[in-house]
Amino acid sequence: MGMTLAQKIIASHKLDGDMTPGTPVALRIDQTLTQDATGTMAYLELEAMGIERVKTELSVAYVDHNTLQSGFENADDHRYLQTVAAKYGVYFSRPGNGICHQVHLERFGKPGKTLIGSDSHTPTAGGLGMLAFGAGGLDVAVAMGGGAYYIDMPKMFKVELTGALSPNVTAKDVSLELLRILSVKGGVGAIVEWGGEGVKTLSVPQRATITNMGTELGATTSIFPSDEVTRAFLKAQGREEDYIPLQSDPDAVYDRVISIDLSALKPMIACPHSPDNVVSVDAVAGTKVDQVCIGSCTNSSLQDMLQVAAMLKGKTVHPGVSISVSPGSKQVLRMLADCGALSDILASGARVLECACGPCIGMGFAPNSGGVSLRTFNRNFLGRSGTKDAQVYLVSPETAVASALSGVITDPTTLEPVAALPMPEQFTVDDSAILPPLSPEEAKTAQVLRGPNIKEFPKGKPFADSLDARLVLKVGDNITTDHIMPAGAKILPYRSNIPFLSQFCFQVCDPDFTERAKAAGDGVIVGGSNYGQGSSREHAALVPMYLGIRCVIAKSFARIHVANLINAGILPLTFADPADYDCLSQNSQLSFRDLKAGIAAGVVEMTDEATGRKIPLHCQLTPRQQKILLCGGLLNYTKEEG
């Protein structure tokens, strides 16, 4: 039996375990990336491990999230990241150089290599044939220190592409169509591999858009083959030597195969407030639009921006629409300026923002109250834009421009298409904003600079054999990490200050949660299906841990978040009978006995003290994860293991 592309890379990087789906496998990691919203904590964790220098082939620290410097906090974090990166052997991408995923695709991604990043959209690099995973910062810190990255061996899905995209139908529409088919839970436990003759018609930036959005499926990662299209992209970046051909075997077996005919696809749109609330654009055409945002790690490539400029050229944005354009990197912005496309964008009335995540992470450009905002981003969770009652839709750049010009949601295929834009034969390469680390000798005397907002990493508590705790919060299905630990300009500057950050925990769901959790001492959270979907931010586990949460009970968990809970020393449990969810009430007193034996056996019994009802809970943990939890988290475990 042949192997899939992902299985080949896993086999070549496997350090331990077997490749039976669902069983744990330890992988050697070649590259890591961090960004500033999660990176400060990752490097604090690396420092706490006592490791002198990173052991990966390449590690890069990016500044792209917290770039709004309305106080000292973000500037201090940037200084900390630059100095800690220099000392520990990490490249540093300066503020303004671009979004981590776009820059990594341009300058560092290599087919066949493994990459983990403290950002859930790290699978973007799968567009180059990398096996790239989003992970919590502590997992990234362990990998930088030379440790393995552990995942449950995924199932293998294949999306077979045929045909070619019609004018003004895009890779974003392909992603939205798959979300319509599978939902935000449909990719859980699987790697999505893209194949078929239609793959050859997609450029690397288009492929990267698709692998980026694969995160919203809940997939472990997504990957494209490395072929002549990949070679052409790397050659244009001056990196042809990084190319290797990679594809699945003809007789590879997949757990599920989905077929999409690119030529039959229509423009799609994700309606509020979930990426899988997808319909065709023509189904909501005519809806008044207040704001349009173009950019993010999903759609900020040169190809996207040139398309936007061509559609805007000689036209003026509707007077009722406010529009922003965020190029994905300094390379993209310079090439737009050099060819005159930037002037076309500016002349249309668009506001050009810096090369950063910006509005996607709630860092500025929030919509008006109750406003309809069309965004070329990957998430439209309630309140993520910075305006709680905004109606945020996810669209392609083409749909965004068509709607910005008309003032209402508009199917771009109703417009005259612009000429096809070929990939440039040579990109403008200027790596002056990527600072190399100090030499090992220089690093010995280098100082790491910390501002007053940077606090110590919080320490988890080991588990005793019994636990008495209060149910401090009960929530429903599809709770995201934005619900648990919101993003946005008001909160992001405190990512390295867990005590201050804790006052915002679960504020979207329950403004009284923080005080109630503190008062409870030891607390329990109960959730529904797909608990913890969305961003990889480990703060959604670290802050509850700081507030005394000892376990989270849910119908099911998102992959990255359950790993972050374990790393933080919080016990993740699932209902043996999902109906037991309905029997629990907020503020109930809960008790757990014989915890250590239950964790080892995979079944923990919980008693609701008010009713005397005994509820069995599944505890599906590997022996390593059991040890991590009993130690009180991955940092404690790593220190104990030496």
Identify residue 420 by its one-letter amino acid code. Answer: A
Is residue 53 annotated as part of the catalytic site, yes or no?
A: no
- Mean pLDDT in residue range 49-70: 93
Is residue 277 over pLDDT 90?
A: yes
Per-residue pLDDT at 389? 93
Is residue 537 annotated as part of the catalytic site, yes or no?
A: yes
- Mean pLDDT in residue range 282-304: 97
- Please, which pLDDT band fits residue 544 given cuts at 50, 70 and 90? very high
Per-residue pLDDT at 457? 81
* Mean pLDDT, all residues of the chain: 95
Per-residue pLDDT at 21? 93
Which among 13, 78, 379, 559 is annotated as catalytic? 379
Is residue 501 over pLDDT 80?
A: yes
| 547 closest CA partner among 520, 565, 508, 573 | 520
Is residue 119 annotated as part of the catalytic site, yes or no?
A: yes
Which among 273, 375, 470, 537 is annotated as catalytic? 537
* Overall residue count recorded for the chain in this entry: 642
Quick one: CA torsion of 547, 66, 532, 584, rounded to 10 degrees? Answer: 40
Domains annotated for the chain, with CATH where assigned, are 5-264 (3.30.499.10), 268-413 (3.30.499.10), 467-641 (3.20.19.10)
Per-residue pLDDT at 438? 97
pLDDT tens digits along 121-140? 999 999 999 999 999 999 99
Who contacts 260 (Cβ-Cβ below 8 Å, separation ≥6)? Answer: 159, 160, 161, 162, 174, 177, 178, 198
Lowest mean pLDDT among 277-291, 374-388, 395-409, 451-465: 451-465
pLDDT tens digits along 562-618? 999 999 999 999 999 999 999 999 999 999 999 999 999 999 999 999 899 999 999
Per-residue pLDDT at 489? 78
How many whole angstroms separate alpha carbon 466 and alpha carbon 313? Answer: 67
How many whole angstroms separate alpha carbon 279 and alpha carbon 265? Answer: 12
Which among 13, 65, 384, 539 is annotated as catalytic? 65
- Please, which pLDDT band fits residue 419 given cuts at 50, 70 and 90? confident
Q: Which residue has better confidence, 4 or 49?
A: 4
Per-residue pLDDT at 642? 59
C-alpha Rg value of the chain to the nearest Å: 24
Is residue 516 annotated as part of the catalytic site, yes or no?
A: no
Lowest mean pLDDT among 46-55, 161-170, 209-218, 390-399: 46-55
Under a CB-based contact definition with an 8 Å cutoff, are residues 251 and 152 in contact? no
Which among 30, 36, 77, 119 is annotated as catalytic? 119
> Over pLDDT 70: what percentage of the chain?
100
| 471 closest CA partner among 606, 355, 640 | 606
Which among 274, 329, 535, 588 is annotated as catalytic? 535
> Over pLDDT 90: what percentage of the chain?
87
Which among 64, 152, 290, 608 is annotated as catalytic? 64
pLDDT tens digits along 445-494? 999 999 999 888 888 889 999 999 999 999 999 999 999 998 887 888 88
Lowest mean pLDDT among 52-56, 393-397, 471-475, 630-634: 630-634
Is residue 588 annotated as part of the catalytic site, yes or no?
A: no
Is residue 561 annotated as part of the catalytic site, yes or no?
A: no
Under a CB-based contact definition with an 8 Å cutoff, are residues 56 and 29 in contact? yes
Is residue 30 over pLDDT 90?
A: yes
- Mean pLDDT in residue range 395-406: 98
pTM above 0.85, yes or no: yes
| 454 closest CA partner among 40, 64, 138 | 40
